[in-house]
Chains A and B, each alone.
Chain A
Amino acid sequence: MAGMALNSDTPTTSKKASSLIYDPKARGIFYQVLTLAVVVLFVWMVTQNTIDNLRRANIASGFGFIQGRAGFDIGQSLIAYSSDSTYGRALLVGILNTLQVAVLGIITASIIGFIVGIARLSQNWLIAKLAQVYVEFFRNIPPLLVILFWYKGVIAVLPQARDSFNLPFQTYLNNRGLFVPKPIFGDGAWAIAVAFLIGIVATVFVARWAKQRQMRTGQPFHTVWTGLGLILGLPILTFLALGAPLTFDYPIAGRFNLTGGSVLGPEFISLYLALSFYTASFIAEIVRSGIKAVPKGQTEAANALGLRSNAITRLIVLPQALRIIIPPLTSQYLNLTKNSSLAVACGFADIYAIGGTMLNQTGQAVEIVALFLIIYLSISITTAIFMNWFNAKMALVER
């Protein structure tokens, strides 16, 4: 009997083992662990091989160079920088320059893109066709060519420094850039900034109150005008109350060039315009598709309710279109940021150009390429997180 029991036991254990093999869940975990192991092994091997090879080739490695003196100058910088600064600071200058062109480019591209996208749907034949020509022109040219077009164009068309265009308010334009008077704020100027912030906060509260009132009574309120009045009016009043503590540093002609004032170099201008115009053509198409995707019945229903066409666009069509527009718009913002690395073609000191110089002075290619990856990844992921938050906010709330 004991033998029988033993015999009957054996199939159960083998059944257990085989059931583990045939269990899809267990198999799934096994394959995932295996894949993870292979990936980790690969990364480890590449890292190890790199370290070995760098050592064998007698190439210095490590991130210690960041503390070293940079020794080179940078033409365009938003923060104080000289050749005595460290490589780390040079890198920071590059990051800020990249962010500057990316943020301004994103804002301008969005504005142009929305205008052109809506213009393409215009009833007016000429406006619609002009918008179409714009989109097809910029969409079908590589961004590098657009940048070179602007850069060579700007340099070639604008006059030499000695015969600059004189524009109003002592502003000058020549092939060295746009020279504008530089504002210098006197004592108490911080109060203006505070007033500006108060204006923004107050506008938020007004908007909230206006919305609640409209929900309750149906009375609309001119939030936009009130907001503008608060955001612009408060700082202006503060400014006047302080006795206008503002002087200007005007550009004056030096021996070679205009000195003083603030200057926007042709490198920055051409990159900024090129990225804005290029990306705007894609944004225009995204906007058009978003608006087209809103069912016609929505417009017709709004018409039937007696809303004016302005209100229909603003209150019915755009909010629904935005839900479709935002995800592809995020990709375009990321593209613009990444395309800014083409700055190197027109001599703008973005992160890629400065990193390239550092790479050459120190020879530490692996470290600097790693820094490139980390920096672009951080900028892009931050943009993506913000846009995802905005998307979630705009998404249809189902009740």
Chain B
Amino acid sequence: MQPAVFEQISKGSGTVTSENKTQTKVGKMKKTILSVAIGAAALGLASAASAATLDDVKAKGVVTCGVSAGIPGFSNPDDKGEWTGIDVDYCRGIAAAVFGDPTKAKFVALSSKDRFPALQSGEVDVLTRNTTWTISRDTSLGFNFRTVNYYDGQGFIVKKSLNVKSALELSGAAVCVQTGTTTELNLADYFKANNLQYNPVVFEKEADATTAYDAGRCDVYTTDQSGLYAIRLKMKNPDENMVLPEVISKEPLGPAVRQGDDKWFDVVSWVHYAMVNAEELGITSKNVDELKASGSPDIKRMLGSEEGSKIGTDLGLTNDWAYNIVKQVGNYGEVFDRTVGPNTPLKIERGLNALWTKGGLQYAPPIR
């Protein structure tokens, strides 16, 4: 089956204008993994591997991000066809930093199987698609990871009626899982380490796997915890399902770029750091204009209002790059609260994703 890839041009975050309704939704059948691979190998990589993605992006006038096809809170088209989510906002942050305009982001929905060839072949400039940073992806796949925009861990969801309280009681269960993920490997390791039997039912698309679980084909569905909460919302009866307490893996999710392009790697990384630093310094999209003029030296340096500062231009951008990110997309905390936080249907606490000053792991190197 050909994976359907839906492309669409984002039209900014939040505000709904009549413009948004007229936007065209181009759903077209895209290359199979086969043609991606062969095309990449035979023809594509020659141009894609040119080590100047930033220049290419500037020339194209749009940054192309690989995202997942529909995980609420991470990247999911809403009822108006507008992409929303923490991964989508990361991409908009990159667009704001490069162009000063978050709408210059283009999203390509990729299945977990298609995502790596798509990045390798240059079909996307960056993969902001809840992808776990692992050593083999960092090395043998030829990618670079540095920032973690969501610290996650793998969990299980089961039907309440099974009366299961712990994952250790799952011996003999049928487990639905999505192919080509670290999830699939962690699952095998966990059941083996605990001497439990299970019957894996493997699907290529997340939607197929969750539908099969919902229909009772499997007793358990497993993916990252954030994904479990998101998927629960889509079930026929969300309240009949519960997430088990065990977290069986570390899943640092972050953006990936191709190796050998340090300049672009820096831009992608510092977009995240700027958002985290902004939260730490108390800069929000509401007060950024005020603080730009009258903030502390730290804040002024970051927002590009310090005399003679070259931070932005050294990065290959303009000096107001960080200002644009915070003004147009928001700081890390704002994005988190808007997409997955306690006030969204997902109701996820900050937990590991709180700032380091508040007991979490989100820590950004200083901007100076």
Chain A: residues with CB nearer than 8 A to chain B? 46, 49-50, 53-54, 56-60, 71-75, 82-84, 144, 152, 155-156, 160-161, 175-176, 254-257, 259, 265-267, 342, 344-345, 347, 349, 353, 356-357, 359-363, 365-366, 368-369, 372
A256-B34 contact, Cβ under 8 Å, with A46-B42, A144-B1, A357-B184: no
* Contact status A257-B174, CB under 8 Å: yes
Chain B: residues with CB nearer than 8 A to chain A? 1, 33-34, 36-38, 40-43, 45-46, 48-49, 112-113, 116-117, 120, 136-137, 139-142, 162, 169-174, 179-181, 184-185, 187-189, 191-192, 198-204, 208-209, 212, 215-217, 219, 258-260
A347 to B192 CA separation, bound complex (whole angstroms): 22
Residues from chain B with Cβ under 8 Å of A353 in the complex: 179, 202, 204
Contact of A365 among B117, B171, B179 (CB under 8 A): B117
* Residue contacts A-B, CB under 8 angstroms, 24 given: A46-B42, A53-B41, A53-B45, A57-B120, A57-B258, A71-B189, A72-B185, A72-B188, A72-B200, A144-B1, A156-B215, A175-B215, A176-B174, A256-B162, A267-B201, A344-B204, A347-B212, A353-B202, A357-B113, A357-B180, A357-B184, A361-B180, A361-B185, A363-B140
A141 to B150 CA separation, bound complex (whole angstroms): 43
A353 to B66 CA separation, bound complex (whole angstroms): 22
Contact of B173 among A256, A266, A372 (CB under 8 A): A256
* Contact status B188-A363, CB under 8 Å: no
A363-B137 contact, Cβ under 8 Å, with A75-B202, A257-B173, A344-B1: yes
Interface centre among B162, B170, B200, B219 (most CB of A within 10 A): B200
Contact of B185 among A54, A58, A71 (CB under 8 A): A71
Q: How many whole Å from A367's CB to the nearest CB in chain B?
A: 10
Residues from chain B with Cβ under 8 Å of A72 in the complex: 184-185, 188, 200
A73-B141 contact, Cβ under 8 Å, with A155-B217, A353-B179: no
* Contact status A360-B45, CB under 8 Å: no
* Contact status B46-A53, CB under 8 Å: yes
A49 to B40 CA separation, bound complex (whole angstroms): 10
A359 to B48 CA separation, bound complex (whole angstroms): 20
A359-B180 contact, Cβ under 8 Å, with A57-B49, A256-B173: yes
A57-B45 contact, Cβ under 8 Å, with A356-B179, A365-B120: yes
* Contact status B113-A362, CB under 8 Å: no
Residues from chain A with Cβ under 8 Å of B120 in the complex: 57, 59, 363, 365
Contact of A60 among B140, B209, B215 (CB under 8 A): B140
Residues from chain B with Cβ under 8 Å of A58 in the complex: 142, 259-260
A342-B1 contact, Cβ under 8 Å, with A74-B200, A83-B188, A255-B172: yes
Residues from chain B with Cβ under 8 Å of A257 in the complex: 172-174, 199, 219
Q: How many whole Å from A112's CB to the nearest CB in chain B?
A: 24
Q: How many whole Å from B153's CB to the nearest CB in chain A?
A: 19
Given contacts A46-B42, A57-B259, A365-B120, 15 further A-B contacts (CB under 8 A): A59-B120, A59-B140, A59-B142, A72-B184, A72-B185, A75-B202, A155-B215, A256-B172, A342-B1, A344-B204, A347-B208, A360-B179, A362-B136, A363-B141, A368-B37
A359-B162 contact, Cβ under 8 Å, with A71-B189, A365-B40: no
